[in-house]
Amino acid sequence: MALMTADSPCSCDCFVSLPPASAIPAVIFAKNSDRPRDEVQEVVFVPAGTHAPGSRLQCTYIEVDQVPKTHAVVLSRPSWLWGAEMGANEHGVCIGNEAVWTKEPVQDGEALLGMDLLRLALERGSTAQEAMLLITGLLQHYGQGGSCREDPAPFCYHNTFLLADRTEAWVLETAGRLWAAQRIRAGARNLSNQLSIGADISAEHPELRSHARAQGWWGGQGSFDFAQVFSLSQQPVRMEAAKARFRAGRELLQQRQGDITAETMMDILRDKDSGICMDSGGFRTTASMVSVLPQDPSQPCVHFLTATPDPSRSVFKPFIFGVGVAQAPQVLSPTFGAEDPVRILPRFQTRVDRRHTLYREHQVALGRMEAEKVWGQQLHQRQRNLEREGLAVLQGLLAAGEGTPPPQQLGSLFQDFVERESQAYA
């Protein structure tokens, strides 16, 4: 079992707001993905597909049975793996995952990564609840395991998930193949690399309590508090830091109860004082996402993705599943096929350059921003102006389509904003 070290990439923060916490009749989802600081995250669009009976699907490390039909998805993912840190599907389901350590030991050997489970659930689930049940079923059948970073030294963890759709959200927290889930129908909720479900359990693994009792973690009488029963009694330093981020995130949500918008979530993801916008030692916030899921099914869901590190110096760009939607090549990393270090055993003995075009341009621009303060301020203003244009598209769609691009142009919206951001860096 791999141990967590001081430089372990174990920080992420997920948020969700439902009416009446939301300022609009919509569910709002947000996540910062905190990973090794030199890891590249790409934004990938995968169209809906049909698959032959008996097909097998290669995930990051293992194969699983394929299903007859899969949904279209947009994914923000570390470019070396198959799964994703966060994403959405054409039915308005959003999922983010986080690392967590529990009393249950991490499985030896390779299985499904939590990020693989996330993508599989998005490709197969049409509601948040259905996606949650898909994850638990896959967890039972295949287990979770394998190194979660591109490094010869294995680094493994269990996973928690925040799942949302137009009507509700679910928190799913796992310990090996065991799990507990909590349904969220109103208000705001956040996750930060720790078990957070107490006694308010909406669904659970059928052997969850009997296993806890057999291990001597629970006496079998009285209230069953999942987080208290399964959390490590001696928390590593990084887990203690996660507690502080969790409290800060909860307070930021509470301060804006009833007034939470997409902009609110972007501001929270950019909060450096709390550590939610991470830049510490060997890891940082490598990508961010905010999604607005209107309760009115006639209104499209709008997903804002950065595809670049540090949301305080990145642009949230709007993506909408629509006519003509396609992959934006500027945010797609190069591929290396059979020569990829993740495919060659033993894995990760060499490194390859996975930077996509926008990532390269963004990094050059950040360097110049630090060296040339006036130019940097001007660029930062151009970034915010471009982002405000994307938010204006959202506002227009929520106001019955006033002043928004025609439907046939919504599918190319993300591509257009990527190109304009690239021009700003040039």
Say which DSSP state 270 is in. T
Contact assessment for residue 28 and residue 261, using Cβ atoms and an 8 Å cutoff: yes
The sign of the CA dihedral 254, 255, 257, 263 is: negative
Taking the CA atoms of the chain, what radius of gyration do you get in angstroms? 21
12 is catalytic: yes
Q: Which of 357, 352, 310 is nearest to 331 (CA)?
A: 357
Instruction: Check 10, 12, 94, 301 and give the catalytic one.
Output: 12
Say which DSSP state 106 is in. P
Burial (Cβ within 10 Å: 0-12, 13-18, ≥19) of residue 107 = middle
Residue corresponding to tokens 């680094």: 155
State both tokens at 286.
């490598």
Q: Which of 193, 414, 223 is nearest to 300 (CA)?
A: 414
Dist. CA 32–CA 88, nearest whole Å: 15
Dist. CA 376–CA 353, nearest whole Å: 27
Q: Which of 281, 318, 321, 266 is nearest to 299 (CA)?
A: 321
State both tokens at 30.
């947000």
Question: What residues act catalytically?
Answer: 12
